[in-house]
Amino acid sequence: MSVALIQPLVVRTVAVSDPDDLLARLPGAAPYAWIRNGEGLVGWGEAARAMVPPGPGRFDWARGWLSSLFAGALIRDEVGMPGSGPVAFGSFTFDADAPGTVLVVPRVVLARRDGRAWLTTIGDNAFELARPPVEPGRIRYGDGTLTAPQWEHRVARAVSRIRDGGLDKVVLARDLTAVADRDIDIRVLLGRLARSYPECYTFSVDGLVGATPELLVRHTGQAVESLVLAGTTPRGSGPTDDAARAAALYASKKDRHEHACAVASVREALAPLCSTLHVPEEPELLVLPNVQHLASRVTGRLSDGASVLDVVAAMHPTAAVGGTPTGTALGLIRELEGMDRGGYSGPVGWIDAHGDGEWGIALRCAYISGRHARLFAGCGIMAGSDPAKELAEAQAKLRVMQYALEG
């Protein structure tokens, strides 16, 4: 466990004129971001940081640390919106027993939402001058933990295990390494991702950067919302091909079953926490620039004053990123992947002092460190999965971060 903070926090939030482009206001060092359709939060600097101890109680520890920190803060909030006042950005590892979960309260947060904008500062000397973003230059790629043929072989082994019985689905991840000519400026990646994938949640937390389509939970007062994605097909070569692929995805027994498993896992997690819960009977289609997903938007109202972290704790890992049943799938992931996912496919997002916040699943992302990047993608493996098609799907998902690096 590692904790660093300015104590007590002296926090002030004031209304400001619309910043138009939040990402353009970021200085160069270690930015934090959560942006969708131009709205959200960006932050920089550190007023407090905690490396959360791994283990089954990590969400309770995180909530307790934040509650203590925010309870002792001197807060002057003139805005009173979700995300005003002190805010912590966080990234939880996929595997509860893996180290690397982090919570950071930035010294400065700039936000815009529903036609309003505000600035939160903690302490003095919080501002930094923004330097122009620097392109990373040429990008060279290399194999990650497994080569493409090795990963296909692991998929085939997973299919065999599923057909033998004991589990319905397992999600296998693949990584790819990249090296740039120059240090990778995270602001360049954020700008490209936000422009190309405005419907996704573009995020940056402690070097983990990406644009995820999957909202794990939005918590506002007692209202909660989750967007479940499972079942994927690449975009077509044109409108006709696109429509044909969408129809095939919607009719696919394998993809519909995968989606039903994911929705069921979210329903089971949320039902004990909610007084009301609405789960769509049929999925809709979410069309992104690179892929199409089966999607279901689940909404409900909490029956008590649970924090967004309580909801995240109940939901993670969903079948969309782990498998079904969860325990068996996690065991097979550890056996076949041969790597530590870190924060990939773990919860990523923000929480304010009232327990409100938005958390997604860290998909379409990469870890950035200096000139180096480690990219991730994953696929839901079912009894009817074809290893070559799963590899093609993983490559389509990896192209999101490849584009962000290359432009």
User: Whole-angstrom Cα distance, residue 396 to residue 399?
Assistant: 5
| CATH number for position 354 | 3.60.120.10
DSSP structure string for 8-62: S-EEEEEE----S-SGGG--SSS-EEEEETTEEEEEES-SEEEEPPPSTTHHHHH
Whole-model pTM over 0.85: yes
Instruction: Look at residue 141 in the predicted model and tell me its pLDDT.
Output: 98
Q: What range defines the domain where residue 143 resides?
A: 10-128+139-406
Task: Encode pLDDT of 9-38 as tens digits.
Answer: 999 999 999 998 999 999 977 899 999 999
Residue 2 falls inside a structural domain: no
Residues in the chain, pLDDT under 50: none
Amino acid letter, residue 267: R
User: Whole-angstrom Cα distance, residue 352 to residue 359?
Assistant: 12
List active site positions: 169, 214
Give the count of domains, the chain.
1
Residue 238 falls inside a structural domain: yes
CA count, 13 A, side-chain hemisphere, 386: 4
Q: Is residue 172 within a helix (H) or strand (E), and if so which, with residue range?
A: strand 169-180
Tell me, rounded to whole angstroms, the distance of Cα 164 from its chain centroid.
32
DSSP structure string for 195-233: HH-TTSEEEEETTEEEEES-EEEEEETTEEEEEEEEEEE
Instruction: Look at residue 292 in the predicted model and tell me its pLDDT.
Output: 92
CB 187 within 8 A of CB 133: yes
Task: Encode pLDDT of 241-257 as tens digits.
Answer: 999 999 999 999 989 98
The structure tokens listed for 39 are: 């709205």
| Residue 267, helix vs strand vs coil | helix
H helix intervals, 228-379:
239-251, 253-270, 308-315, 326-337
Tell me how far CA of residue 13 lies from CA of 34, 72, 105, 117, in angstroms.
18, 17, 14, 10
Residue 5 falls inside a structural domain: no
Instruction: Look at residue 127 in the predicted model and tell me its pLDDT.
Output: 64
Supply φ then ψ for residue 154, to 5 degrees: -65, -35
Instruction: Look at residue 319 in the predicted model and tell me its pLDDT.
Output: 87
Residue 182 falls inside a structural domain: yes
Residue 4 falls inside a structural domain: no
User: Whole-angstrom Cα distance, residue 109 to residue 120?
Assistant: 5
Residue 133 falls inside a structural domain: no
Amino acid letter, residue 399: R
Instruction: Look at residue 125 in the predicted model and tell me its pLDDT.
Output: 61
Instruction: Look at residue 181 in the predicted model and tell me its pLDDT.
Output: 98
Instruction: Look at residue 303 in the predicted model and tell me its pLDDT.
Output: 85
Residue 47 falls inside a structural domain: yes
The residues facing 323 across adjacent strands are 170
Residue 1 falls inside a structural domain: no
CB 213 within 8 A of CB 286: yes
Amino acid letter, residue 123: G
User: Whole-angstrom Cα distance, residue 225 to residue 266?
Assistant: 11
